[in-house]
Amino acid sequence: MLWGGFASGQDVSFSQFYANPLYLNPAFSGSAGVPRATLQYRNQWHSFENAFTTYSAAFDIPVKKIRGGIGLNVLNDAQGNHLLNSLQINLSYSVDIQLSENYKLRGGLQAGYNQNSLQAGKLVFSDNLDPDYGDHGTSQELQYLTDPNYSFVDFSTGVLVYSKRLFFGGAVHHLTEPQQSYYSGQENVSKLPRKYTAHFGARLPVYLYGHYRKKFDISPQLIVQQQGSFQQINYGLFATKRGLTSGVWFRQNFGLRYDAVIFLIGFMKKNWQFMYSYDYTVSGLGGSSGGTSEISLSFFLKKVDKKQILPFYNQYREEFGVE
């Protein structure tokens, strides 16, 4: 029997979206008001040897002269035990406008360089398999892999509206839908589809025993994304109490088919925060996947002004009573 078809996939999707806001939306560039550095690591599906491992580092800084900020985000996604590597280097620029006493509007642009590196020598094809001794010789298929290190430029944009309690925005990645292919002459059938993102979040204080002492914060959040035929919804909330935070998220598609339950725990101080999350797979892959772990570490490189609005960075502050 003969069978043929197409294989497709979407961009890297982090469970801790706001641990690396530049990857979510370029409008976040410089939005912290001070230099910020973030590191993130994701290991997807522990039961498979290095199936998908992703590393990300980002840095952004406000620039008063342009009433905005600039940022740099570097990401490498290694698939199939590092058989395929996707390197992204993105520069972003944003400006903000004061809409009212409480709300700001921020818009951002991003330009990047992407390189997909395929370890063609590690691939096994049927024509180099000896029936008695296994792998033997060199496949003739390799002559068609004319560009195993295919690179292209990419552009994205986004907007963000935020106040002390609420923030929401949207982003469009891969505006030009760049072509990518390892085979010459096949570029027109391998475009990278645009990715559309809408996000919403809030940081709400919870008071007990009157309105003079805040007990903890809760932060409900929602992410909706679509890229090509793929859709994804992430929603949930986490609570913060004296620097300790924990929460639960759910991930599903538009058809209400659940993929994972995400458990998050972390610790944060004034200038840094550490987060760990675990994705428990509830889809058909189930227990075979072994789950997914993600770790993030974020730093503010200067002291943050207490008046600075940071709804997307869940830094805990007591507004009443002792911090």
Mean pLDDT of the residues in the chain: 82
Q: How far is Cα 60 from Cα 125, in angstroms, rounded to an integer?
A: 44
Q: What is the pTM assigned to this prediction?
A: 0.84
Confidence of residue 319 (pLDDT cuts 50, 70, 90): very low
Whether 82 shows a pLDDT value over 90: the answer reads no
pLDDT of residue 136: 66
Q: Of the given ranges (176-180, 213-217, 222-226, 316-320), which has the lowest mean pLDDT?
A: 316-320
pLDDT in tens, 25-38: 999 998 888 899 99
Confidence of residue 164 (pLDDT cuts 50, 70, 90): confident
Confidence of residue 187 (pLDDT cuts 50, 70, 90): low
pLDDT in tens, 269-316: 778 889 999 998 887 665 677 788 999 999 988 877 666 665 555 454
pLDDT of residue 194: 94
pLDDT of residue 168: 93
Number of Cα atoms under 13 Å in the Cβ half of residue 199: 29
Structural domains of the chain, ranges and CATH numbers in brackets: 24-300 (2.40.160.40)
293: Cβ–Cβ under 8 A, 6 or more apart, which residues?
42, 43, 46, 276, 277, 278, 279
Confidence of residue 229 (pLDDT cuts 50, 70, 90): confident
Confidence of residue 227 (pLDDT cuts 50, 70, 90): very high
Q: Is-contact 36 59, C-beta < 8 A?
A: yes
Letter for the amino acid at 144?
Y
Q: Of the given ranges (55-64, 122-131, 185-194, 310-319), which has the lowest mean pLDDT?
A: 310-319
